[in-house]
Structure 1
Amino acid sequence: MTEMSNTPSRPSALREFWYYFRENRGAVIGLWVFGAFLIVAALAPYIAPHDPTMQYRGNILQPPVWQEGGSWQFPLGTDPLGRDMLSRLIVGARFSFFVGIVVVSIASAGGIIIGLLAGFAPQWLDTIIMRLMDIILAFPSLLLALVLVVVLGPSLTNAMIAIAIVLQPHYVRLTRASVMSERQKDYVTSARVAGAGLMRLMFITVLPNCLAPIIVQAALSFSTAILDAAALGFLGMGAQPPTPEWGTMLAEAREFILRAWWVVTFPGVAILITVLAINLMGDGLRDALDPKLKRS
């Protein structure tokens, strides 16, 4: 009769990830806040009490409900054109998250491919690619994005393209560094000796082992994309009125900051909370995915 082994089984990767992630209380709070905003963005058309572009001319600059003159019809007040602030903030969350998802997807996809090519390319091609990335990184990111939007034309789509181009070099450098570290290891040599082709080495053998730092970079880039889109919108180069994007809402309301504090405060607080939650979550991802930071 054989005896069953008493050796404890190794926890699953997801359980191990959650164990280290939840040790960072700020990251857990950021995850819950991010999840709440994500739900609001997904359900925006159903939970917004008013059409975000509808103008109620008889309720221009109406204060929030807790201030004298406020009304439950517009709990967070109205903007200079009589549009409901709460509805515009809710729908604006959808635009901000859409910007983050599209920008991170484009920047990470392009950056990973170029980084893999640089990591496996001959020395001369690797040098050319990395010098081009250094040139892009030499410019202030927001200034370069602003120049690209001016060339392409002011719109939310062009703003997303510009921000993705600006963020892409970070993924290229990070992917290349990870590839250069991984390609020297024994499992890559074994795969090469076994006859694995270049594409298989790049995307099947090496890339999965480079994903941890890329995931952390993606989380942090998400908040950067939202901030840059809001900045471009504030400068009139991103989403165009009457689109209820948070940066555009700030731009439209800046001249009323002394008369109606709520038209500037609420979009600014929405941007602040969203970016802070994503950054806290990114710190938790770094702690959970970086083996050097895990405590035994």
Structure 2
Amino acid sequence: MADTTQISSAPTRPSALREFWYYFRENRGAVIGLYVFSALVLIAVFAGLIAPHDPTAQNRAATLLPPAWQEGGNWSYILGTDPLGRDLLSRLLYGSQLTFLVGIMVVLLASAGGIIIGLISGFAPKWVDTIIMRTMDIILSFPALLLALVLVAILGPSLINAMIAIAIAYQPHFVRLTRAAVLAERSKDYVISARVAGAGLPRLMFITVLPNCIAPIIVQAALSFSNAILDVAALGFLGMGAQPPTPEWGTMLAESREFILRAWWVVTFPGLAILITVLAINLMGDGLRDALDPKLKRS
């Protein structure tokens, strides 16, 4: 009877999700970033319902109107209008959709290719691994934005080509991270046991080893998400990304930079949108690192 009581009163291990949330919420900045990021996602999803105007509709009688609370403002245009009389708030809301679409697509393309190449490199013979990693080193020797500019110049300026170019520039980070995780895992007992049991190479790579390499990849994906938003905005600002009249935040900055001295709102609000979004994602990335890295967990 005593033994039964002892067994029933033994502490149970918390679920993985509960443990993750416990460590994640220890970082208050990460929690704030999560709330801000969630609000931005909701805004992007419901932009079509929230936006008061068509983001591409021009009103030549209302060009460069100041925000509604300033003298000369109009409450029909809460954040004012741009040089072509387009509602700034509507363009920011629709721009958030493009921003998150770009971030998601870049991370998916870069991580998918990087994980596969990293797994191959980690399990391949030494000469294949050397060729792959030296190629990645060559790509990493170029600044990501400069490499993306060159690729976009070759492919042609467009939002899709900008996403592909940035994904290629970010792929080596996922390759190196995945390879390092694979090399750390492949010598462990569970991998050796699976190999002895007759597991084939694809099963070892994708089912046995990959799930145990996910934690650092998730953190890298979060950081790449914010960097992708910055780089796409930079390409748009340089005229190599989204093309007018697409409501993309970097393109909005480029279209309005000559009016910065007499119409502060046309560059301030798109810049703030980029700043808040990137800051929220980076804060979340720090929280993910704290929650997923066993070395950073406090006992």
Structure 2 equivalent of residue 145 of structure 1 = 148
Corresponding residue to 2:260 among 254, 257, 260:
257
Structure 2 equivalent of residue 68 of structure 1 = 71
**d(CA) in 2 for partners of 1:13 and 1:48?**
39
Where do 1:57-96 residues align within 5 Å?
Answer: 57-96=60-99
Corresponding residue to 2:59 among 49, 56, 61:
56
Post-superposition CA distance 1:31-56 (Å, at most 9, x none): 01011111111111111110000001
How does the TM-score come out when normalised to structure 2? Answer: 0.98
User: Is 2:164 the partner of 1:161?
Assistant: yes
Post-superposition CA distance 1:80-119 (Å, at most 9, x none): 0000000000000000000000000000000000000000
Corresponding residue to 1:19 among 17, 22, 29:
22
Where do 1:34-45 residues align within 5 Å?
Answer: 34-45=37-48
Aligned length: 296
User: Is 2:233 the partner of 1:230?
Assistant: yes
Corresponding residue to 1:273 among 271, 276, 284:
276
**d(CA) in 2 for partners of 1:148 and 1:266?**
29
User: Is 2:189 the partner of 1:183?
Assistant: no
Give the SS at the match of 2:68.
coil
**d(CA) in 2 for partners of 1:161 and 1:40?**
26
Structure 2 equivalent of residue 133 of structure 1 = 136
The residue type equivalent to 2:28 in the other structure is: R
**d(CA) in 2 for partners of 1:126 and 1:53?**
50
**d(CA) in 2 for partners of 1:276 and 1:5?**
46
Post-superposition CA distance 1:7-53 (Å, at most 9, x none): 11110000000000000000000001011111111111111110000
Structure 2 equivalent of residue 104 of structure 1 = 107
The residue type equivalent to 2:140 in the other structure is: L
Give the SS at the match of 2:152.
helix
Post-superposition CA distance 1:234-278 (Å, at most 9, x none): 000000000000000000000000010000000000000000000
Question: How far is the alpha carbon of 1:176 from its aligned partner?
Answer: 0.1
Question: How far is the alpha carbon of 1:120 from its aligned partner?
Answer: 0.1
**d(CA) in 1 for partners of 2:298 and 2:277?**
29
Deviates more, 1:91-100 or 1:41-50: 41-50
**d(CA) in 2 for partners of 1:42 and 1:113?**
31
Question: How far is the alpha carbon of 1:230 from its aligned partner?
Answer: 0.1
Stretches (4+) displaced over 6 A: none
The residue type equivalent to 2:61 in the other structure is: G
The residue type equivalent to 2:37 in the other structure is: F
User: Is 2:48 the partner of 1:28?
Assistant: no
**d(CA) in 1 for partners of 2:134 and 2:274?**
34
Question: How far is the alpha carbon of 1:5 from its aligned partner?
Answer: 2.0
How does the TM-score come out when normalised to structure 1? Answer: 0.99
Q: Percent identity?
A: 79
The residue type equivalent to 2:223 in the other structure is: L
**d(CA) in 1 for partners of 2:36 and 2:190?**
40
Post-superposition CA distance 1:197-252 (Å, at most 9, x none): 00000000000000000000000000000000000000000000000000000000
- After superposition, the CA RMSD in angstroms is 0.6
